[in-house]
Structure 1
Amino acid sequence: MMANALVVRGGWEGHRPVEATELFLPFLTKNGYDIRIHDSPAVYADAAVMSETDLIVQCMTMSTIERDEVNGLRAAVAAGTGFTGWHGGIADSYRASSDYLQLVGGQFATHPGKEPGCLVHDETDNFLTHTIDLTPLGREHPITAGLSDFTLTTEQYWVLHDDLCDVLATTTHPVQPWHPWHRPIVSPAIWTRQWGEGRIVVSTPGHSLDVLAHPSVRTVIERGMLWASRTGSAS
């Protein structure tokens, strides 16, 4: 029996929502998913579609969401639909919706930049070399088991979060003389979240296509899709 995946993509074009999600469609097809693609969250208000959806993959940076749409999303996840995504496509979506922020459990706050004297005034000003460090839970969890800590040179997300998140990996923002904070900040980089009967998986790496193609990032996203899905294992 086929599972049903819903891909919701759009918002800020800098994250290449179409190209980014296209990277993962063959994986979903190979794993037995029938895929529907929508370019706005309006589908979340369609109770019939949502009741038949086993997995939502969202890549919708910023943008807005209506009350009936976010209520539909929350209800679907609570009833068992999996919800996953990466980077700003899930952790920087619908900034004005507190109900969405509560559902996801982590919200992008910033990505610190380079030393002012090194700025060239393009997106690479925010590309820092940093490590994604697995937590003890992450070393055992099906999504990240067998992976090692890994290093990326890309945006390093600073995320506001709550204790309902089960954090599988973190990243640490160091103290730098050009920044105003005075101690290192540990931020979740990969987390899961149980919402009713549903599972949520968020990976903050994923700013660009090359980051999504990194073996560890891609593994986390693909395993996260299967784990979050209503048809996934119960481990």
Structure 2
Amino acid sequence: MTRKKALVVRGGWEGHQPVEATKLFLPFLQSNGYTVRVEESTDVYADTDEMAATDLVVQCITMSEIAPEQLAGLSAAVVAGTGFTGWHGGIADSFRASSDYLHLVGGQFATHPGKEPCERRGEAEDNYLPHTINITESGRDHPVTAGIEDFELDTEQYWVLHDDLIDVLATTTHPARPWQPWHRPVRSPAVWTRQWGAGRIVVTTPGHSLDVLENPNVRTIVERGMLWATRTA
């Protein structure tokens, strides 16, 4: 049996613990028959032969920058069938200056609303809010989210700007609180897939910290997303 090849690319903002976060999933990939290569930069995306031989890219790079030839290599690989997945800022807040990357992924982090100003203490927890991840009707039948019920988290709640070419498997709703400038609740995609050429993309927005990634629902979605996004032909 031919082993599948996964490429884990990590780096960027250290607040999302890219090394520790990706280490959580390496045993899962290996136990499911993947040969795993780990890279600490996006240089590998410009390696045409390596990318053509890769069945799945797991990216965990928040913010940072990407060179045009690296992004072109990633995009070409996905179009040709390489799967692409990740969580939170590692995929939904990568390469903010690149509109072509946004076009590839289909959604971009805009903000994570915070607590009431009087409750803020200048710490990361200022942006932690209790919220619900709601599985959509299509999500209830999709291999990535089937069997998962709506669940609660107390962490960053991503507000995502997105296009209509994504298939939304789960959403989260930002209420209109008195101290916020918006005037009605806003529903945002929390988990989505995207078909791009022959490639599959899966984005999971929860995952700010290791405890969130270890939440059974979040971890199941991320791991199923890896399997589903992997090259199919």
- TM-score by length of structure 1 reads 0.98
Query: How many Å separate the matches in 2 of 1:80 and 1:101?
Result: 18
Match of 2:19 in 1: 18
The percentage of aligned residue pairs carrying the same residue is 70
The 3-state SS of whatever aligns with 1:114 is coil
Query: How many Å separate the matches in 2 of 1:141 and 1:35?
Result: 26
Query: How many Å separate the matches in 2 of 1:131 and 1:37?
Result: 33
Note if contact 2:59-2:91 (Cα within 8 Å) is conserved in structure 1.
yes
Match of 1:216 in 2: 217
Query: How many Å separate the matches in 1 of 2:221 and 2:35?
Result: 21
How far did 1:120 drift?
1.1
Query: How many Å separate the matches in 2 of 1:147 and 1:92?
Result: 25
Note if contact 1:3-1:231 (Cα within 8 Å) is conserved in structure 2.
no
- TM-score by length of structure 2 reads 0.99
How far did 1:42 drift?
1.0
Match of 1:177 in 2: 178
Match of 2:105 in 1: 104
Give the alignment's Cα RMSD to 1 decimal.
0.7
Query: How many Å separate the matches in 1 of 2:121 and 2:108?
Result: 27
How far did 1:80 drift?
0.2
- Unaligned ranges ≥5, structure 1: none
Query: How many Å separate the matches in 1 of 2:82 and 2:91?
Result: 15
How far did 1:34 drift?
0.4
The list of structure 1 runs, each at least 4 consecutive aligned residues, that deviate by more than 4 angstroms after superposition, is none
Q: Deviations over 1:17-57 (max 9, x none)?
A: 00000000000000000011111111100001000000000
Note if contact 2:109-2:160 (Cα within 8 Å) is conserved in structure 1.
yes
Alignment of 1:89-168 (within 5 A): 89-168=90-169
Match of 1:55 in 2: 56
- Unaligned ranges ≥5, structure 2: none
Q: Deviations over 1:180-235 (max 9, x none)?
A: 00010000000000000000000000000000000000000000000000148xxx
Query: How many Å separate the matches in 2 of 1:220 and 1:187?
Result: 17
The 3-state SS of whatever aligns with 1:93 is coil
Note if contact 2:81-2:232 (Cα within 8 Å) is conserved in structure 1.
no
Question: Counterpart of 2:210 in structure 1: which amino acid?
Answer: L
Query: How many Å separate the matches in 1 of 2:13 and 2:118?
Result: 28
Query: How many Å separate the matches in 2 of 1:99 and 1:214?
Result: 32
Q: Deviations over 1:80-104 (max 9, x none)?
A: 0000000000000000011000000
Match of 2:39 in 1: 38
The size of the alignment, in residue pairs, is 232
The 3-state SS of whatever aligns with 1:63 is coil
Query: How many Å separate the matches in 1 of 2:103 and 2:161?
Result: 11
The 3-state SS of whatever aligns with 1:136 is coil
The 3-state SS of whatever aligns with 1:227 is helix
